[in-house]
Amino acid sequence: MKIFLIGFGHMGQAIAQSLRGLPVRARTQTGSKSRHDIFVADRDAARVEKESSHLSVTPDNSYAGLKDASAVIIAIKPQDLVALAEEIRGRISGNSILVSVAAGVTIAKIKELFGHEKIVRVMPNIGLSVGQGISAWKSSGLSAEETVKARKLLNDLSENFEVDDEGQIDAVTAISGSGPAYFFAFAEALEKAAGALGLDEKESRALVEKTFAAAASLQEGAGYGELIQKVASKGGTTEAALRVFEKNGLSRIVEDAARAAYKRAQELNEK
């Protein structure tokens, strides 16, 4: 499949890395990644030139390849969509599937901006770059055959699922799209706590990295409450820490944060 990727920042590069065959779980890999020819455009031409070789993509800032691309993936900030639409509107083949990863921007808005009917709106996350991504998506205007083609592309990208209601993608954005940053924020706070307890910087980082990596591996196949109980013995150290989380409303804080991200995703469609 010929893919034209617009935007080569962190997410654009993660998409290219994933489509270029980083290891993914066997159950999610149903397409043939080797068949993808990826062309890339980005306002930062130097970045494309620098990264294109090891990711085996072809720079194309003139957008010449748009006319015969099977899929056009837009991986830019929502705020930049209007300017991009003005530049390329009418240049995308009517047979192409237009795939947008722009947070908060609805299918209806994408159709309006680009004058294109075959749309897939998808929310992946940065885990793509290490073969651990997950994506949620919704399509519009695709035939049955085109839907099969879109599914194959998304299966090559990451583990994924289709939502029933497009509005759910904003919720996905607040959880898995933004979620890695929440994880890093908690990890940073735990690293600082380690320092406050007298551990040096190197030791603190090593403890946090290995602990979180192990916890991620242990989570599969069990409920989170059950997993907490495996660590928190009655009257022990972990229980003392968990009581502080409960007293200070950790669950409420996390929910408030997710709701703020969800609200912001909805606001971005109005820009």
Instruction: Report residue 158 as tokens.
Output: 């990451």
Distance from C-alpha of 78 to C-alpha of 90, rounded to nearest angstrom: 20
Q: Give SS3 for 233.
A: coil
Distance from C-alpha of 160 to C-alpha of 55, rounded to nearest angstrom: 23
pLDDT at 55: 82
Residue type, 263: K
Kindly report the backbone phi and psi dihedral angles of residue 33, in degrees, each rounded to the nearest multiple of 5, phi listed first: -65, -30
Round the average pLDDT of the chain to a whole number and report it.
Answer: 91
Beta-ladder partners of 39: 4, 58
32-59 pLDDT, tens digit per residue, is: 455 789 999 999 888 888 887 778 899 9
* Domain architecture of the chain: domains with CATH: 2-166 (3.40.50.720), 179-268 (1.10.3730.10)
Distance from C-alpha of 106 to C-alpha of 104, rounded to nearest angstrom: 6
Mean pLDDT of 248-268: 96
At residue 30, does pLDDT exceed 50?
no
At residue 31, does pLDDT exceed 70?
no
Distance from C-alpha of 134 to C-alpha of 125, rounded to nearest angstrom: 6
70-122 pLDDT, tens digit per residue, is: 999 999 999 999 999 999 999 999 999 999 999 999 999 999 999 999 999 99
pLDDT at 221: 82
pLDDT at 49: 84
Tell me what percent of the residues of the chain surpass a pLDDT of 70.
94
Distance from C-alpha of 235 to C-alpha of 257, rounded to nearest angstrom: 31
191-211 pLDDT, tens digit per residue, is: 999 999 999 999 999 999 999
3-state helix, strand, coil in the chain (%, to 5): 55, 15, 30
What is residue 99's DSSP assignment? E
Kindly report the backbone phi and psi dihedral angles of residue 93, in degrees, each rounded to the nearest multiple of 5, phi listed first: -60, 140
Is residue 124 within 8 Å of residue 137, measured between CB atoms? no
140-182 pLDDT, tens digit per residue, is: 999 999 999 999 999 999 999 999 999 999 999 999 999 999 9
User: Where do we find the tokens 């090559």?
Assistant: 156
Whole-prediction pTM: 0.87
How many CA atoms lie less than 13 Å away from 249 in the CB half-sphere? 5
